Amino acid sequence: MPPAPIVVHSASPTGGRRVTARGQILGLAHSDADVVEFLRRAGIEGAEELLDEPRWVEWRGGRAHEYGAA
C-alpha cells in the first residue's frame, strides 16, 4: 500500500501537530478542526470522514486526535 498522502506528525514540545499533505506543510494543528480546515484550504473536501482512514491520513508519533505537548 502506498503511504498516506496526509500526515499528522508528532506533537511539538509546546503542543500542536504539524500537518503535511504530499510533503507540503499545511500548518500546526491544535485540534481536529484545525486539520480539517487545513485540508479544506488545500482543496480536500470531506476531510472529517478522512481523519480515521489510514489510506488517507497517517498519525505519527502519538495517538490520533491528541494535540497536547510532547
pLDDT per residue over 12-67, tens digit each? 999 999 999 999 999 999 999 999 999 999 999 899 999 999 999 999 999 999 99
Query: How far apart are the C-alpha atoms of 6 and 21, rounded to whole Å?
Result: 4
Are 58 and 3 contacting, i.e. CB atoms less than 8 angstroms apart?
Answer: yes
State the Cα torsion 14-67-2-43 to the nearest 10°. -100
Are 29 and 67 a contacting pair, CB within 8 Å?
A: yes
